[in-house]
């Protein structure tokens, strides 16, 4: 397969913490081998320095997508759930425009595992998109999905994984020893870049990468060491958190239901300890591994 030089990134907003697209743009610029275009909604603040910027109506009209995609080698979607259910028109536009590679907005838990998908059905949308991409292989469009596990740095900053870095409190699920895969936002950006630099081996593949495999107790130890304080610890049962998450899901409160993503990460057999249950691509792609002290240290230092 020819090199993927012209890369279009969808979703490079500079607002919010989990702005993967903006981090990806910086990583692609640092690599120095790509011609980068960012596609953004007119209403969105977007990382633009040193890249081509195209803004379209917030509805992302199909005709505009086909026009912008024409001449691009690869399209990378880094949007979260903002475009949930609308991904097909992006895929169709890529096919019509002759795009060579489509990287879906996976970047989460193991969307190939049926138990994980059943735990938090919103992730089923990501699996559906990957299925649509597989169905387009005969058109010449190739695809890559990248599972990364939870973004630990973002999870620590937001409190999502159960640690209050200012109040020095922690909520540990069960005994706190279950191992799960995590990544940092910067390392995910590196993984996407390495996929683009290795088009042959990553064509039509579901790629698993992580910064490390860790546990709640290891994260706690890293925080206490890094901050030089002891945390006040409370314990909760995974089964209780799952029941709460499902009740929130039934009410349509998806923010509180997100605890189900963490639950799926902690249950053996749900495929979210990539080192044990899947094949890690880090070494093949040259994606670095990180230690808990490195990750925690960066979060503490801001």
Q: What is the pLDDT of residues 183-210, one digit of tens each?
A: 999 999 999 999 999 999 999 999 999 9
- Kindly state the helix (H) or strand (E) to which residue 147 belongs, with its residue range: strand 142-147
120 part of a folded domain: yes
Q: Which of 165, 192, 208 is the last residue of a domain?
A: 208
**At 167, which CATH number?**
3.90.25.10
67 part of a folded domain: yes
**Based on the domain organization, do 193 and 119 belong to the same domain?**
yes
**Based on the domain organization, do 112 and 161 belong to the same domain?**
no
Using the structure block, give the residue that is written with the tokens 């387009």.
Answer: 136
283 part of a folded domain: no
Spans in the chain with pLDDT lower than 50: none
102 part of a folded domain: yes
Domain around 245: 150-182+212-273+289-301
**Based on the domain organization, do 65 and 192 belong to the same domain?**
yes
121 part of a folded domain: yes
In this predicted structure, what is the pLDDT of residue 42?
83
In this predicted structure, what is the pLDDT of residue 67?
96
**Based on the domain organization, do 133 and 174 belong to the same domain?**
no
pLDDT, one tens digit per residue, over 133-142 is 999 999 999 9
**Based on the domain organization, do 232 and 142 belong to the same domain?**
no
Apex CA 109: angle with CA 104 and CA 112, to 5°? 70
The residues, ordered by sequence, that sit 6+ positions from 254 with a Cβ below 8 Å of its Cβ are 81, 122, 248
Report the alpha-carbon distance of residue 207 to residue 266 in Å, rounded.
Answer: 20
**At 135, which CATH number?**
3.40.50.720
296 part of a folded domain: yes
Sign of CA dihedral 99, 101, 102, 103: negative
**Based on the domain organization, do 24 and 108 belong to the same domain?**
yes
- Report the predicted TM-score, pTM, of the whole model to 2 decimal places: 0.95
Q: Which of 160, 193, 208 is the last residue of a domain?
A: 208
- At what angle are helices 216-227 and 292-301 packed, to 10 degrees? 50
280 part of a folded domain: no
**Based on the domain organization, do 108 and 163 belong to the same domain?**
no
**Based on the domain organization, do 20 and 169 belong to the same domain?**
no
Q: How many domains would you assign to the chain? A: 2
Neighbours of 162 (CB within 10 A): 21
**Based on the domain organization, do 56 and 124 belong to the same domain?**
yes
Report the alpha-carbon distance of residue 216 to residue 224 in Å, rounded.
Answer: 12
In this predicted structure, what is the pLDDT of residue 48?
66
**Based on the domain organization, do 189 and 66 belong to the same domain?**
yes
In this predicted structure, what is the pLDDT of residue 82?
60
281 part of a folded domain: no
**Based on the domain organization, do 190 and 268 belong to the same domain?**
no
**Based on the domain organization, do 233 and 262 belong to the same domain?**
yes
**Which one-letter DSSP state was computed for residue 58?**
T
3-class SS at 35? strand
Structure tokens at 77: 């979607």
């Amino acid at each position: 397969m020819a090199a993927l030089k012209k890369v279009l990134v969808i979703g490079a907003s500079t607002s919010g913490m989990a702005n993967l697209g903006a981090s990806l743009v910086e990583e692609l610029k640092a690599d120095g081998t790509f011609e980068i275009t960012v596609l953004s909604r007119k209403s969105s603040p977007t990382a633009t320095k040193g890249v081509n910027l195209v803004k379209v109506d917030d509805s992302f009209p199909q005709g505009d997508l086909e026009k912008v995609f024409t001449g691009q080698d690869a399209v990378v979607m880094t949007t979260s759930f903002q475009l949930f259910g609308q991904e097909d028109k992006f895929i169709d536009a890529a096919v019509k425009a002759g795009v060579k590679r489509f990287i879906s907005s996976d970047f989460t838990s193991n969307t190939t595992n049926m138990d994980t998908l059943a735990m938090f059905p919103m992730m089923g949308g990501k699996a559906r998109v990957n299925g649509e991409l597989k169905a387009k292989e005969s058109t010449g469009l190739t695809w890559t999905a990248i599972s990364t596990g939870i973004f630990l740095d973002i999870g620590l900053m937001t409190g999502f994984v159960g640690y209050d870095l200012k109040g020095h409190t922690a909520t540990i699920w069960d005994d706190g020893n279950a191992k799960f895969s995590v990544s940092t936002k910067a390392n995910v950006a590196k993984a996407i870049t390495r996929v683009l630099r290795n088009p042959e081996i990553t064509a039509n593949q579901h790629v698993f990468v992580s910064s490390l495999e860790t546990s709640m107790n290891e994260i706690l130890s890293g925080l206490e060491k890094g901050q030089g304080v002891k945390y006040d610890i409370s314990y909760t049962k995974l089964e209780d958190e799952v029941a709460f998450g499902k009740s929130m899901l039934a009410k349509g409160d998806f923010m509180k239901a997100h605890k189900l993503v963490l639950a799926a990460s902690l249950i053996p057999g749900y495929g979210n300890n990539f080192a044990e249950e899947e094949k890690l691509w880090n070494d093949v792609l040259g994606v670095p591994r990180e230690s808990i002290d490195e990750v925690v240290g960066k979060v503490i230092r801001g």
